[in-house]
Structure 1
Amino acid sequence: MFWRNMLLFNSHVDVTVTFLLLLFLSLFGIGSSSAAPFYIDTYCPKNASYNSNVTFETNLKVLLATLVSNVSMSGFYYTFMGLGTTSVANGQFLCRGDASAATCQDCIATAAKEITRLCPNKTESIIWYDECTLYFTNHYFSRTGIEPRAMLSDDRNISASDLDSFNRTLFSLLNDLAEEAANSQSAKKFATGQSRFDGSSPQRTVYALAECAPTETSTQCEECLKNAISTLPSCCGGKQGARALLAHCDVRYELFLFYNTSGTSDPYKSKQLSWSERYKIIEGITQGISYLHEHSRLKVIHRDLKPSNVLLDSNMNPKISDFGMARIVAIDQYQGRTNRIVGTYGYMSPEYAMHGQFSEKSDVFSFGVIVLEIISAKRNSRSAFPDHDDLLSYAWEQWMDEAPLNIFDQSIKAEFCDHSEVVKCIQIGLLCVQEKPDDRPKMAQVISYLNSSITELPLPKKPINSRQSGIVQKIAVGESSSGSTPSINEMSVY
């Protein structure tokens, strides 16, 4: 449905049929096999309806499509469409902090579809799932108020003999988590924890989480969470599990472990992957992009390839995701051109960033950046290389100094990997980020390179001046009308 909406609202899309891309997605296995989101409740106010506000309805449709297309590892996005007091549509989604990117994507796509079905002709609504919350409004929702809200509780009660000990333990834990989430130094204001309580029955454990939208200040977040906690006694006192969900925050507790306990940020995990796992990921991404470019009736140019748009399953098999910026072109069409530069800083090819020219070779450039990031476990940013412009310039310098392994992630012990295989992948990465599109290989050639020895590969040429490219890309992204913003480049495990 999202791609259909994009066809309706984006005049730059090159084809009028939608089933082709859906076919690509199903054949290639792109997407998630996760269970359907668990629906909790909706807020559909009776006094917030519209009958003939065509402008607001149009803004709302574009808003929901934009929310769906901006799911990333941050698990949060806020934007608005339109101007004025009655026609503007503000919207936001927040995925649970321990949800995978695939789970988040599924939940937001479902929420965007269901919210207008369950709450038709409304100027504001909220839909809550176990995995995410999504809302829209032509006004605003209080950042700390307890209305509107959704409450859900377990039917089972804590035994009377255990209730005092349970309540003391529970509310102490929830208040601690509220402070922890509010003062989180990460991109997410999310905290989980557990605590044991005593009683006449054997000692038991209560598990809880607290979460705020990342845009809340520490004070707003803590106030919102503590207000949510304050609603639990009247609604769910003595219950074995309950949750309070507001517009900007939520809390939950259970007597069973209901959240992901890994406690490790994604793919930080990327730095712990073995070389064989990384090589497998590179091979899988290569096959995925090659399918989109070469093995379909119409060629798909992704235009926003980056690690956060690569989903990894439990077996480290990669899937290409997020086709919100993709373009479909005829199989014999070499390139296209657009006046709307969309994408992510650090991954856009120079010809696309500067002239709006996109082709399969612009995807190849993005792929080359991803390969070098996988090898080095570092971002393509100047901050990661104080003495260089970015990862590309550093990799090129090491290549010219005949020391390419200097860019290899030092957390992997050298004796546990095939050095020639690493060097080959570095060479492939550099071949893909060459300045001129014609110098870059096609993905079919990359597949061949992965099966060849180093001596059979062509020698790369110097990438574009990284400082110049970086300035141009930053300007292009900043002036884009797509609403795209630079995103965290991390692969997502689902």
Structure 2
Amino acid sequence: MVYSPMFYNSIQVLLLCSLAFLSDVAFADPPYEICSSSSHANGSAFENNLKNLLLSLPSNASISKSYNASYGDDPDKVYGLYMCLDYISSESCQNCIATARMDIVKLCPEAEEAVVWEEECQLRYSNRNFFGKLNISENIGKDNMQNISEPEKFESAVNEILYNITEKAAFSPSANMYATREGPFEDKTIYALVQCTKDLSAANCSTCLKSAMTDIPGCCYASIGARILTPSCYLRYEFYPFYEGATGPADPSTSNSKGHNSGKKTRMIAGIVAAAGLAITFFSICIFCVMKNKSEKGANGIISHLIELNNFSQREDKGFDLQNFQVRNDRKVEEFSYIDLDSLCLATRNFSDSNKLGQGGFGPVYKGILTDGQEVAVKRLSTFSDQGTEEFINEVQVIMKLQHKNLVRLLGFCVDGEEKLLVYEFMPNGSLDAILFDPMQGAQLDWSKRLNIISGVAKGILYLHEDSRLKIIHRDLKTSNVLLDHHMNPKISDFGMARIFAGSEGEASTITIVGTYGYMAPEYAMEGYYSIKSDVFAFGVLLLEIISGKRNAGFYQSKQAPSLLAYAWHLRNEGKGLDFMDPLLADSCNHHQFLEYMHIGLLCVQEDAYDRPTMSSVVLMLQSESATLSQPERPPFFLGRFNDIVSYEPDREQHSVNGLTISKVVPR
């Protein structure tokens, strides 16, 4: 009998919890560290630069709780950063960094890169410039020794608190990338804290904290307290007020005590060790039975929904076995294949971290190689997200209808217990944002390649709006959702938030706003109205980002140009449009063509949706060198800060930051 990975994860969690109860070694107090395997030589220039950098940090900590600096010259230059938790005093920060400076050398001797976390601060250094760059690939989870009796209810309460303070920390200027919150749970209080390093943009801070949240179920399921430590941000929650400013007395019974009596602990261990084996076995069987029953019901619901959406009214005629979601008689669901979980585990080396391509809003994406040698990207939906099932159904039902060279291809999908996976064609050059906004890699994208990307994305959106059997609004078009193949050809991905319009329907509204700060049209961000012109706005932002090499999110030039759109508008009005050009394009760009594309981008981001062109007009403008362009009206300069906004509907709990609207599929 083959059990799903979720079963083994449950067993592993239970074993870890039991071992923690039997031994205090499993949950040691700080410091915690990550040390690179690469090392520097004793007495080298790098080591001397590192010593000088580390020596300078404590004195700076007495002035600032967040600081980054470099020391020396390339190739032996050292980059360093520290972050103290915002609530501690300057003196405590200085003492913490002084301790961290000694610990990082002791714990990571000769390492070229290292991070160390103390109780109230963290310190990081590297031989590479990491300032402003998000790192969520080395997260560490630490959980409390005690577990809660109602884990799902507790997890829901924790998620709600964390989502709120994540948005506040990232996007509230007064929060300064730090936020705390308290919330009730039964007769107790949950205390939560999040903080990002100050070198990050608001969008990256939000991404980092959301990634940390997705790690909680894997490391700390049912634990009454947890810390997620990442090089770029910090997350923690407990049942006692561990930070200054929290209200309510500390509860010693729920905290991680640092002064245990060793004799008492020895007697406790002796008393429970005999029963531990039987208890673990019993609880494992119970959890497995409950999860198996729940998983089968969840899988059946997904299948039923997919069948209904695709007019499969008679499941027996189509050959579905809902028990295992196997397709009898080698049939397929429409033209897409079901791929079993064992094959995907083998393809991704059991979802190894070394195969991880990135972290999306609903879960991680892994590179895989199928048995026939085909490279694929496997999107694994997070099991803790309430929106995961809806997003899965939406993405399958949308993409299975689409065929276009500028849209990513869905090769197959899998539902097995709690696991929901989507299998796409593999795009070797990754996402556009990873190359475009990197000072080194951006040089790969000369003017002709950028024109090809702009044209390809425009044609892909035009296909969605007008040329496919369905009228589809993507609703989350952005650089990270544009993938690049071997030849840098673009393909639009991630249709989890797409909206299918029926018949002649032209505009809709929702109280659950989804999308990404910097790309949302003002009428959508402010009032919830969306139409094809919402995608046109996002395309305009993307076009301006591509030709300038700058992100719209987090951009600030001056009071006159508080956003990238405003900056482009002012430069064009002053006759200085070429100043908007990415310096990397200086040797390859046609100046006249650049100004035309900048003009088209500004037409797409006009404040009034009625003034924006349709995508068919945009494609014509991009293809014609002699087209007469109308004068653009001003773009929205002050959009506020929106990023994956949460809306709470009455009598309905929402625990995912990505809302979703699904309408009935009606062919045009």
TM range (shorter): 0.3 to 0.5
TM-score between both structures, scaled by the size of structure 2: 0.36
Pair member with larger Rg: 2
| Higher RCO (C-alpha under 8 Å, 6+ residues apart) | 1
